[in-house]
Chain A
Amino acid sequence: MARSSLFLLCALLIASTPAPQPAPVDLLRDAMSAPAHISYVGEVAVQHFGQQHSDVDIYRIEHRAPDMTRRWYLAPQGLYGDSIVTRGSTTYSIDVKHEQVVVSNDEDTDQQVTQQGNFGVLLANYDAVLGPNETFDNRPVFVVLLNNKYTGQTTMRVLIDRGTHLMLLRQEFASNGSLIAETRVDQIRFTGAIPVDVFAIPSGLRRVNDLARGTESSDVQHVISTAGFAALEPKYLPPGFSPIAADVVTMKDVTTLHLLYSDGIRSVSFFQNEKDAAVDLSRYHAVATTVANHPGHYVQDGATTLLAWSDGTRHFALVGDLSLSELEKIGASVLP
């Protein structure tokens, strides 16, 4: 009798012990690699909350593991019916209104390696912490918070599906705690039966090659040395930011050097060229500003800000999801 009671007690203890929680860093790593082996369809909403206005893109997504994806835009109205098909390293932007397909190829970029490198930077700057478990769209999820090691503030909140470890929600917060961006996957359905035809490119559309893009390299100093001109670098970067990648491209006979800095979540690009080639902002609503007393302009495209200025001899541009004041501070530190 005593023995059976002991068995019963043990069984109850085992049953009542909660399953061990996975390490948040492992969950994040799994979430990065999950699309390589999980096929799914769903609806994605990407929202950016700017200073003056917010915008949202909504698209249907069909993903066939490991690397075929179709995003079919439902909103905004200007993008309705357009789609983006990614097959391996090639991306086809299908613009039905202009009856053209813009083809871009990133075969030189090993995205997975770059992503792993950025993930290392992310872990160096952010603490991953498990939040209380939740449900999202009726699915149980893990909650992972990424807290900035320098400020202690939560910069990102990620909801990861318990069953598949796919990311279902990603929220990014500004330094004052306000929500600045959110990506959510709704109505998700996991399937292994997405026909390859879904990822076919419609015939009869004019094919246009995308603008030439330089080959990205993580050997930043080597790329700078091959630029062919004396490149400048910002002397100030926000805490945790470091050079991640660089590339050189020649357009209109102008060699342009692109340096990318990131802290693993936020990122900023710095462009400069060897000639006096200004940034053409005519297609955007540009606002005048100054960078270290030099005249400049900025444009805001969702959460992304482009700051362009000239020191009288050269033109520079910074692009990133940092605040304008942070970009101006970085720009002011670009000195010969």
Chain B
Amino acid sequence: MNAHPNHELLIDYLHGELAPGEDAAFLLHLDECATCRARYQEEVSLSESLREYARATEREFPVGIRAAVLDAIETGADRPTLLERLASVFKPAIAVPIAAALVLAAFLGFGSTAHRNPTIDAGYYLEDHAAVTSAVPFNEGNTVPTALFVTENADGTQ
């Protein structure tokens, strides 16, 4: 790739949308062209600013809610839940707002009061082991740092 890539190509590269050959050619060009590197960095900064803004205006969904829902499914899958029993007493018009209020209450922290033992990610152990064994003689690059592992959930999110 000798000519400067156009803006569209740059955006596609940034989002990993290029075909492997194009991607490699673009990367090579970036390595050699200071002008395009600067354009690329501008785009990266802009993307990052947008992400920062999105993060700043977004509230994380508490882990407690997910855990509570999974617990409820596990322990009471075959019998009506408290919510269902209440729903049979109250009309939906009343039951729905109650359910919403329960979810909101969980969101605001009631869920976090449930005691759960912490867990340690296996990746930490693997990485800690790799870090100390890097001092084993002739251990050049024996292990890829866990930081670079592609960690995707089953639903494809990261």
With an 8 A cutoff between CB atoms, is B93 at the interface?
no
Structural contact, A28 and B137, CB atoms closer than 8 A: yes
Structural contact, A122 and B129, CB atoms closer than 8 A: no
Interface residues on A, range: 35 or more
Contacts of B148 in A (CB 8 A): 73, 79, 82, 84, 93, 95, 102
With an 8 A cutoff between CB atoms, is B19 at the interface?
no
Identify the 5 closest CB pairs spanning chains A and B, nearest first: A102-B147, A204-B44, A114-B135, A93-B147, A280-B119
Contacts of B138 in A (CB 8 A): 28, 31-32, 156, 158, 167, 170, 183
8 A-B pairs with CB atoms under 8 Å apart are A79-B150, A102-B148, A111-B135, A156-B138, A183-B142, A275-B117, A277-B118, A277-B120
B123 nearest in chain A by CB position: A283
With an 8 A cutoff between CB atoms, is B45 at the interface?
yes
Nearest CB of B to A46, in Å = 6
Structural contact, A252 and B118, CB atoms closer than 8 A: yes
Could you list which residues of chain B lie within 8 angstroms of chain A, going by C-beta atoms? Answer: 16, 20, 23, 27, 41, 44-45, 47-48, 51, 117-138, 140-145, 147-148, 150-151, 158
Nearest CB of A to B40, in Å = 9
Question: What mask results when residues 58 to 97 of chain A are scored 1 for a CB within 8 Å of chain B, else 0?
Answer: 0101000000000101000011111010000001010101
B49 nearest in chain A by CB position: A204
Nearest CB of B to A184, in Å = 10
Structural contact, B151 and A57, CB atoms closer than 8 A: no
Structural contact, B141 and A46, CB atoms closer than 8 A: yes
Distance, CA A256 to CA B122, complexed state (A): 13
Contacts of A183 in B (CB 8 A): 138, 140-142
Contacts of A267 in B (CB 8 A): 129, 132-133, 136
A205-B44, A256-B120, A280-B119 known; A79 vs B125 contact (CB < 8 Å): no
With an 8 A cutoff between CB atoms, is A141 at the interface?
no
Structural contact, B16 and A97, CB atoms closer than 8 A: yes
Contacts of A93 in B (CB 8 A): 145, 147-148
Residue from B118, B121, B145 within 8 A of A253 (CB atoms): B118
Contacts of B129 in A (CB 8 A): 260, 267, 269, 304, 319-320
B132 nearest in chain A by CB position: A260
With an 8 A cutoff between CB atoms, is A124 at the interface?
no
Structural contact, B151 and A205, CB atoms closer than 8 A: no
Structural contact, B125 and A271, CB atoms closer than 8 A: yes
Contacts of A273 in B (CB 8 A): 120
Contacts of B132 in A (CB 8 A): 114, 216, 245, 247, 258, 260, 267, 269
Distance, CA A144 to CA B131, complexed state (A): 26
Structural contact, A304 and B120, CB atoms closer than 8 A: no
Distance, CA A183 to CA B145, complexed state (A): 16
Contacts of A122 in B (CB 8 A): 137
Structural contact, B122 and A115, CB atoms closer than 8 A: no
Structural contact, B150 and A78, CB atoms closer than 8 A: yes
The interface-forming segment of A206-214, A219-227, A229-237, A328-336 is: A206-214
Nearest CB of A to B134, in Å = 7
Residue from A57, A167, A211 within 8 A of B124 (CB atoms): A211
With an 8 A cutoff between CB atoms, is A326 at the interface?
no
Contacts of A256 in B (CB 8 A): 120
Distance, CA A115 to CA B135, complexed state (A): 5
Interface-centre pick from A106, A277, A301 (highest chain B CB count, 10 A) = A301
Structural contact, A91 and B128, CB atoms closer than 8 A: no
Structural contact, A280 and B122, CB atoms closer than 8 A: yes
Contacts of A284 in B (CB 8 A): 122
With an 8 A cutoff between CB atoms, is A133 at the interface?
no
Structural contact, B141 and A59, CB atoms closer than 8 A: yes
Nearest CB of A to B129, in Å = 4
Structural contact, B122 and A279, CB atoms closer than 8 A: yes
Distance, CA A192 to CA B143, complexed state (A): 27
B48 nearest in chain A by CB position: A204
Residue from A82, A99, A102, A304 within 8 A of B44 (CB atoms): A99
Nearest CB of B to A312, in Å = 13
Distance, CA A258 to CA B148, complexed state (A): 23
Interfacial residues of chain A within 120-163, with CB under 8 A of chain B in the complex = 122, 156, 158
Nearest CB of B to A265, in Å = 7
